[in-house]
A and B are shown apart, each in its own frame.
Chain A
Amino acid sequence: MLLKIENLHVSVEGTPILKGIDLELEAGRVDAIMGPNGSGKSTLAHVLAGRDNYEVTEGRILLGDEDLLAMSPEERAQAGVFLAFQYPVEIPGVSNVYFLKAAVNAMRKARGEEELDAMEFMKLTREKAKLVNLDESLTKRAVNQGFSGGEKKRNEIFQMAVLEPKLAILDETDSGLDIDAMRTVSDGVNALRSEERGMLVITHYQRLLRYIVPDRVHVLVDGRIVKSGDGSLAEWLEDTGYAELGSASV
């Protein structure tokens, strides 16, 4: 099993947000997590990536057979975890290429591989930028600074393409995208689907799942997974709405 979440309880500043999550993801699979605003989707994503100030009060998470919660954010990334942020952070003064080269080489070093030189790295980024139609001039600018909403999301998927994670968590990668941009981003994501890679696609709306077709859909309401099913669950949700499920789960 690539990822195994068992009875995960998470609080923020003493308030329980996640109230017992169980989830398994195999390599090669793409699962969607859907849920209304405030249900805890980003909390789950951040806890997987290792953000502090979330308190895990119960449960455990395994990446392969490793205890994910015992690892620092950089160790998780080096072990193959990638989070595409719902709100990518602007970092003035640090250029995208510099940052990404540092990231790539930190990972290679952790895996005992040779660091890439400037030429090799340029070749790699050029190729991957094409994949998501990212304007190459953006790679030279400061990380996300002055990027439009769509450019930020594309930049996330671009980074994912460069870093080639084992487990990718996409947190509302569709929000703020028009249809064209969503198609481009989805094509990029689909191109990265592989037998070695698992993905958790977090979204509020069903529309993204028309482009990135999931193997399973989990519905998160008020910190609990209240329903899981195949892709058709997303369509059912679109018609019925979360309210129905929310009340059903109480």
Chain B
Amino acid sequence: MTQAAQTLMDRVPEAPAPRGPGWLADLRGRAATALRETGFPHKKIEAWRFTPVDPVVRVPFAGPPAEPPAGWEAIAEGELTGGELPTIFLVNGRPAGQAASPMPGVEVTSLAEALDKDVEALRAHLGQHAPSAYFSALNAALFDDGLFVRVRQGQALETPLHIVHVTAPGAAPVAAYPRIVVAAEPGSELRLVESYVGEEGGQKHLTSPVTEIGLERGAVVDHLRVVRGAQTGYHVANLSVSQDQSSSYSSRSVVLGGALTRIDLDVVMKGEGASCTLDGIYHVDGKDHVDHHTFIDHAEPRCSSQETYRGLLSGRGHAVFDGTIAVRKHAQQSSAHQENRNLLLSDDATIHTKPHLQIDADDVSCSHGATIGSLDDSALFYLRARGVGREHAEAMLTYAFVKEVVDRIPHAASRQRIGRALLSRLPHGEAAAELE
């Protein structure tokens, strides 16, 4: 006899069903055991000090229903990327329809299918990069599908691969645990445009994805990841990237609100001469909570990293930026630059920012800095003294604060839609629409 689940932990099986190959069952079993032992994180754990997960783990979110709930397409329309791109939809963590490769040079399959047909390539990455603790362990224990993206050696994709995740609760609170695995083989090039959207207003929902990206020697991956938060939506994600020699990874993270959005982004540069760029834009309003934890590991010499996160904080919103860069002892000639700037637009909004460099090598070029400020009075006066109304001037300066980072989003249609969505969230943003 099983009792009805009271909390999220009740959903974690003591022994996960023995599906799939033995190594995968082991991985899931270990994750479930670890999670049951530690429990979910709480405020006494440093990395979760400012992330209130209680309201999330109190809900006994059920796994997704077998069929996508009616109306998921309407929810999907709220996503902010793509435009003309062919799209792969995942509804509640499962590919909707067939996840066939939308273009030559790349193989995109559901995890279920990859386990059947391409298990060795998958095994090289699945569970190899992401940690197995807390919510990533939850994902490991409970994911039942996802995507495997494999770009073969030397293949350079012209068109971005567009993936849209839809969380659609239907009649009861639901949790989705997508697992995305990307294998970028030597010398390959991939642009990934990924978008998360959930139902607004209905039942509560949790999206807790784990994304593992392995870049082999000389591979290039550009990854746009957009979360459009919902008042009823929680998004607790882990993104783990592993870089071999001379590979290059760019992450562009855009988060527009959400009751709780937390993204842990871990990049390890474990081959010489690798480089990564981590851009981030976030906006909180109302009672949103948006939280970024990044960790960049310079494990080998001559790697470079450039991290730029910009936040706009209005209403009673709360944001956290916690970024660590580690430069290991023999990782000489590393270059690491980190910046987090925040614009406070309301007295009731809060930001906790903690940039952190941990440098054990001596021949390095590193910098970091964080700022929290409000709109620049002299800039505001300058604009107004030229006849621009106060509200318009404020909107211009607010958007200008993130514009530089928005402008670096390479896919034009996505960039435009994100710019517009940002502006529409800002007070009087429509007045500054031409800025985008």
Contacts and interface: CB of A to CB of B under 8 A. Distances in A.
Interface of A: 49-52, 72-74, 76-78, 82-83, 85, 88-89, 91-94, 98-104, 106-107, 110, 142-143, 159, 163
A73 B396 contact: no
B404 A74 contact: no
A240 B376 CA distance: 41
A104 B392 CA distance: 13
Contacts, number: 85
A74 B404 CA distance: 27
B371 to A, nearest CB: 13
Contact of B403 (A72, A93, A101): A93
A139 to B, nearest CB: 14
Given A102-B392, A106-B388, A85 B400 contact: no
Interface residues of B, number: 25
Interface string B381-404: 111111111101100110111111
Contacts of B388: 74, 99, 102-103, 106
Contact of A94 (B389, B390, B396): B396
Contacts of A85: 382, 385
Contacts of B379: 89, 91
A91 B382 contact: yes
B400 A93 contact: yes
Contact of B381 (A73, A93, A163): A73
26 contacts: A49-B381, A51-B381, A72-B390, A74-B390, A74-B393, A82-B385, A82-B386, A85-B382, A88-B382, A89-B376, A89-B382, A92-B400, A92-B404, A93-B397, A93-B404, A94-B397, A98-B396, A99-B388, A102-B388, A103-B383, A103-B386, A106-B388, A106-B389, A143-B382, A159-B386, A163-B386
B378 interface: yes
Interface centre among A82, A88, A93, A99, by most B CB within 10 Å?
Answer: A93
Contact of A99 (B376, B386, B403): B386
Nearest to A110: B387
B434 interface: yes
Contacts of B378: 89
Interface residue SS majority, chain B: helix
Contacts of B393: 74
A50 B388 CA distance: 13
Contacts of A99: 383, 386, 388, 396
A77 B385 contact: yes
Interface of B: 376, 378-379, 381-390, 392-393, 396-397, 399-404, 434-435
B239 to A, nearest CB: 27
Given A72-B390, A94-B400, 11 more contacts: A49-B381, A50-B384, A74-B384, A91-B379, A91-B397, A93-B402, A98-B434, A99-B388, A103-B383, A106-B392, A110-B387
B387 A77 contact: yes
A72 B396 contact: no
Interface centre among B376, B378, B382, B393, by most A CB within 10 Å?
Answer: B382
Nearest to A79: B387
A74 B400 contact: no
Nearest to A94: B400
B206 to A, nearest CB: 35
Contacts of A74: 384-385, 387-390, 393
Contact of B401 (A49, A93, A101, A107): A93
B387 A78 contact: yes
A148 B346 CA distance: 35
B399 A93 contact: yes
Given A91-B397, A93-B403, A107 B387 contact: yes
Contacts of A101: 434
Given A94-B397, A99-B396, A72 B384 contact: yes
